[in-house]
Amino acid sequence: MVRGTLANIRLQNELSPDKVGGFTTYLPENKETTIYEAAQAYKRTATPLVILAGKDYGMGSSRDWAAKGVQLLGVKAIIAESFERIHRANLVMMGVMPLQYKPGQTAETLGLDGTETFDIQVDGQAAHVTATKGDHQTTFDTIVRFDTPTDWTYYQHGGILPLIVQTKLSVAPGSQSL
């Protein structure tokens, strides 16, 4: 099912403008391939991934599998104009950081095309982002969409499943907890 993540035929990846669906360009080689194959190649080089998105990211994909698939592809953060409410929560529960552009900002207005490398520094409810492409840097702030204190807890533990495992492992043998 991970192969099908981001493979919707209505999806248009700007890194692969001539194809619709689950295609992208694997940047080190500038080779067009499937999103899944590119993600596997990035995983082999321990390269964390960032998605640049438009409005209502996750609309129609509010099931938790959509967020699991993105996390399993190696995506660490999504920078979007806005998020579908349930999908945003599911991303947090999978340990993926939802970042929202400030009003009036988009990837286009910031001059981002997805070929940059990103450095993201979180400071409370803001994240300072530096996008680097060659010798050019673009810096901008985003809103960290951790909307509840529980969101922070999930993210700090890598998602809800690692949190549950860590909690269960920290309980003394013979004691009960819920």
State the pLDDT at residue 175: 54
Residue 88 lies in a domain: yes
How far apart are the C-alpha atoms of 39 and 81, rounded to whole Å?
23
Record the pTM: 0.91
Residue 163 lies in a domain: yes
Nearest to 108 by CA among 16, 25, 14, 20: 14
**CATH code (residue 51):** 3.20.19.10
* Residue 117 φ/ψ, nearest 5 degrees: -100, 150
Beta carbons of 133 and 115 less than 8 angstroms apart: yes
Residue 31 lies in a domain: yes
Residue 8 lies in a domain: yes
Domain limits for position 51: 2-112+146-170
Residue 138 lies in a domain: no
- β-pairing verdict for 49-52 and 126-133: unpaired
Residue 166 lies in a domain: yes
| Range list of H helices, 4-113 | 35-44, 64-72, 85-93, 107-110
60-103 pLDDT, tens digit each: 765 778 899 999 999 999 999 999 999 999 999 999 999 999 99
Residue ranges of the chain whose pLDDT lies below 50: 177-178
Q: What one-character DSSP code corresponds to residue 4?
A: G
State the pLDDT at residue 60: 78
Residue 176 lies in a domain: no
Number of domains in the chain: 1
Beta carbons of 121 and 91 less than 8 angstroms apart: no
Beta carbons of 52 and 79 less than 8 angstroms apart: yes
Residue 117 lies in a domain: no
The half-sphere exposure of 139 on its side-chain side, counting CA atoms within 13 A, is 3
